[in-house]
Amino acid sequence: MIIVTGGAGFIGSAIIWKLNTMGVKDILAVDNLASSSKWTNLRGLSFYDYMERDSFIELIKSGAFKNDRIDCVIHMGACSSTTEADCRYLLRNNYEYTKTLAWFCADNGIRFIYASSAATYGAGENGFSDDDCVMEKLRPLNMYGYSKQLFDLYAKSNGLLDKVVGLKFFNVFGPNEYHKKDMRSLVNKAYHQIKETGSINLFKSHVPEYEHGEQLRDFIYVKQAVERVMYFVEHRDRNGIFNIGSAKANSWNQLAKAIFKALKMKAKINYIDMPVEIRDKYQYYTKADMSKFEAASAGANLKAFTLEEAVKDYVLNYLEKGEKRLSALDE
């Protein structure tokens, strides 16, 4: 059995989809559905059971959870909002929850894969290397990123890094992100802007080093990201922290033009002021150093998408079809 926490969320549901396409259905999906519409991501996916997060944690902590047939825990459950200001909430959901599951897996010989984040790199002043030796130098710009870094540091100082896998996801976009509201990717937001107004709004640059719309990001398609998660599910001898990105830095302008191209429309971009409250926390450049992953996965035949290929697939096969969800039934 494979447990996927955050199983109804964006990346979590995409992982279940990917497992289904590989013939795996013995999956326990764990999440906190509350009033969110993310439950719709579970439709079209195959798993043997669903459990609410609080009940799951209670069973784990009490020792009552049956672990005799658990092969792997893929822990994507977390608060992923980069603007969340409740530090206690973030520590409870992103730090303490991960600690509980990490030790449960370590004590029971269960494969543990968890989501860290590229937000741990802050403004990138110390680079984007996932090498263990630079971890203490990183300075996240928001509490979300710090909550992720805290566990990375905890895993290192407590000897867990040679037993677990932490994945630093960069800017992931694609189907099943629809419930994320303001945290949806630009591709999703811009698609709807284009349909409504014929144009896209991008933030102006507020530093002289970058022209408007030329701020750079490492964008990675969710289908590419989850294939790399599967690599670690299948290769239990690979442990440590790894970046999950495209290893390319593309501008917001390039991303916007790719959306217009997919829709066969002339690009029309408006530049608007960045909100004051996020200006000092804004990343102007991200690019995953993928050398560690590439060395670990040498010889593996892993699919990669160009930015235009990924945007085209997302726009035409999902957004244009009414925000279609990933479904193993379609494969």
CATH number of the domain encompassing residue 115:
3.40.50.720
Q: What is the pLDDT of residue 331?
A: 64
Phi, psi for residue 272 in degrees, rounded to 5: -120, 155
**113 bridge partner residues:** 74, 165
Q: In this structure, is residue 193 part of a structural domain?
A: no
Whole-angstrom distance, CA of residue 77 vs CA of residue 97:
9
> CB atoms < 10 A from the CB of 155, how many?
26
- What are the per-10-residue average pLDDT scores of the chain (331 residues)? 96 98 96 90 96 94 86 89 78 91 95 96 93 94 91 96 96 96 93 96 95 96 97 96 97 97 97 91 92 94 95 98 90 64
- Closest by CA position to 173, among listed 210, 120, 241, 226: 226
Alpha-carbon span 122 to 97, nearest angstrom: 23
**CA separation (Å) from 1 to 70, 275, 298?**
5, 45, 27
250-251 vs 216-217, strand pairing mode: antiparallel
**How far is it, in rounded angstroms, from Cα 192 to Cα 189?**
6
How much is the pTM? 0.95
Please state the domain count of the chain: 1
Q: What is the pLDDT of residue 96?
A: 92
Rounded CA separation 182/83 (Å) = 10
Q: How far is CA 46 from the centre of its chain?
A: 21
Active site residues: 144, 180
CB 194 within 8 A of CB 200: yes
In the prediction, which pLDDT does 64 show?
Answer: 86
196 occurs within a structural domain: no
Whether 212 is in a domain gets the answer: no
Structural domain containing residue 169: 2-174+218-247+284-304
Is 18 a domain residue?
Answer: yes
Q: Is residue 324 part of a domain?
A: no
